[in-house]
Structure 1
Amino acid sequence: MMAFRKGRYEVGFAETAEEIREAQHLRWLCFIARGREDGDTGLLDADDYDDRCTHVLIRETGGRLVACFRMMTLEGGAQIGESYSARYYNLSRLRDFHGRMVEIGRFCIHPEIRDPDILRLAWGALARHVDAQGVAMLFGCSSFIGTDTRGYEDAFAMLRERHLAPKRWLPRVKAPQVFRFARVLRLRKPDPRRAMAAMPPLLRSYLAMGGWVSDHAVVDRQMDTLHVFTGLEIGAIPSTRAKLLRAAGA
């Protein structure tokens, strides 16, 4: 993916260790500090996957980092066990997936920024990468803030009703603590308005393009999140939406 500019933002890859640390600090602000600004840029969210990934940065034209995410490319399902997601989900069914896969992780937007164009630009960057690398599936963990399921019942009920993974790809339980929403909420009829209001923006984007999720959420107390495995087969994206994504990255 070549760097590109759109409006007041620039999108590109991290090319230095300093730029990766900058992304790790933004992740700390979003996932750990949860918006409590701190002048110490040494406070980082970092793990052993950072060295294996390509880091995408979205900056304001003046240079401030406003969003980031990381990507790890797999040549096919046989490598699924190497993914970050495989730490939390039994993904053995995806070993049979044929085609290049990219895991998307640690997506975050600066807590002071409220601009929907940033998410569109992130998807535009992904569209460029998908086209350039011949990617057949995007996947990752989509996170709900906090580990309390109260307030998310309609969102999880909608996931159960409309967006569960095909059985041939459905992740099985691996993490020690999970919320089996497909079982617990099997009789609940979701309220669409409340469901969508509680859905994380990135997950809403995945679902709008034909994405699917696991039938359970992992309770991740270290990150203070509930997350669901999320997959998106590129061939399932409606052509009209695919055109919009490519336009966002043009």
Structure 2
Amino acid sequence: MSSGNKGRYRTRMTDAPSDLRAAQVLRAQCFGLDKPLDRDAFDDRCTHFLIHERKSGALVCTFRMLDVTGADISASYAAQFYELSALEKFDGKMVELGRFCIAPEAKDPEILRVAWAAMTTYVDQHDVKLLFGCSSFAGTEMNTYLDAFAVLKAQHLAPTRWLPRVKAPDVFRFAARLRRKPNMKKALAHMPPLLRTYLMMGGWVSDHAVVDRQMNTLHVFTGVEIGAIPATRKRLLRALC
């Protein structure tokens, strides 16, 4: 277990069973699941991060990270939904970010910044070259997010050499289907905060969204190549650490 303090919040990297259970409870609440815990087989393979409010001790954010190489990309969580054979050729260590959630009552934007500080430290310490995961939109009603998807199509599609292919049975092929000029105000209003941060770092997404009815989300595969992050953005991220 390791920990760090940043302002009002304390971040812990942990594998303690009691901490994992607390994370699973928060995840179930955030994802609106009809069960007390959100858990899966990937939990045992991941490093878990918990962010607490220092004064109250309340758990306000959690996420997990899974170390991956190109040779075992098919064993990642995202590979259940996306055909990722293109990334088998990626030269360098990868980390999959998953199950990111912030407690619904925790509205402080500082929490997201603290989370990215913890991710940045992990990436630097482990010489990670690609950070990836599934970025989720709440619910499965895609019409709500058409402007956001139009922006992803216009500006943020994955390079052809890394582009994830369709694997899930239920997908929205927004890059092929959308023919609209996006309303940027609506697009940004409906873009998940985690995804916005990925994109500000030069991140890219799949050309389709998976309709995940079990988790009641739409999600896109998202990647950011660490070497491609603008230098100014890297300085800002490391200043948070």
Provide the alpha-carbon RMSD of the alignment: 1.3
Write out aligned runs for 1:82-231 (5 A).
Answer: 82-185=75-178, 187-231=179-223
Match for residue 39 of structure 1? none
**Superposed displacement of residue 66, structure 1:** 0.4
The residue type paired with residue 11 of structure 1 is T
Which one-letter code corresponds to 1:78 in the other structure?
Answer: A
Question: Partners in 1 of 2:51 and 2:135 — Cα distance?
Answer: 20
Cα displacement string for residues 42-87 of structure 1 (whole angstroms, at most 9, x for unaligned residues) = 810000000000000000113211000000001x211111100000
Counterpart residue identity of residue 6, structure 1 = K
- Structure 2: segments with no counterpart, 5+ residues: none
1:68 aligns with 2:101: no
TM-score, normalization by structure 1 = 0.94
Give the aligned partner of residue 37 of structure 1. Answer: none
Mean CA deviation greater in 173-182 or 10-19: 10-19
Q: Distance in 2 between matches of 1:132 and 1:12?
A: 15
Contact 2:15 2:47 in 1 (8 A): no
| Off by >6 Å, runs of 4+ in structure 1 | none
Give the secondary-structure state (helix, strand or coil) at the position aligned to 2:64.
Answer: strand
1-side partners of 2:238 and 2:2: how far apart? 14
Q: TM-score, normalised by structure 2?
A: 0.97
Give the whole-Å Cα distance in 2 for the aligned partners of 1:151 and 1:176. Answer: 21
Instruction: Give, in whole Å, the separation in 2 of the partners of 1:168 and 1:158.
Output: 21
* Contact 2:12–2:51 under 8 Å retained in 1: yes
SS at match of 1:123: helix
What SS does structure 1 have at the residue aligned with 2:176? helix
Q: Which runs of 5+ in 1 are unaligned?
A: 35-41
Cα distance in 1 for residues equivalent to 2:33 and 2:130: 32
CA distance in 2, matches of 1:57, 1:114: 16
1:31 maps onto 2:9 in alignment:
no
2:15 partner letter? E
Q: d(CA) in 1 for partners of 2:77 and 2:33?
A: 22
Query: Which segment drifts farther, 6-15 or 215-224?
Result: 6-15
Aligned to 1:15: 15
Q: Which stretch shifts more, 96-105 or 7-16? A: 7-16
**Identity over aligned pairs, percent:** 60
Aligned partner letter, 2:46: C
Q: In structure 1, the residue corresponding to 2:49 is in which secondary structure?
A: strand
Task: Name the residue aligned to 1:3.
Answer: 3
State the 1:2 CA deviation. Answer: 4.3
- Tell me the CA shift for residue 32 of structure 1: 2.0
Per the TM alignment, residue 14 of structure 1 is displaced from its structure 2 partner at its CA by 2.2
Counterpart AA for 2:194 = L
Q: Deviations over 1:117-155 (max 9, x none)?
A: 110011100110111000000000000011111111100
| Amino acid paired to 2:191 | M
Out of 209-218 and 11-20, give the one that drifted further: 11-20
Whether the 8 Å CA contact 2:33–2:215 is kept in 1: the answer is no
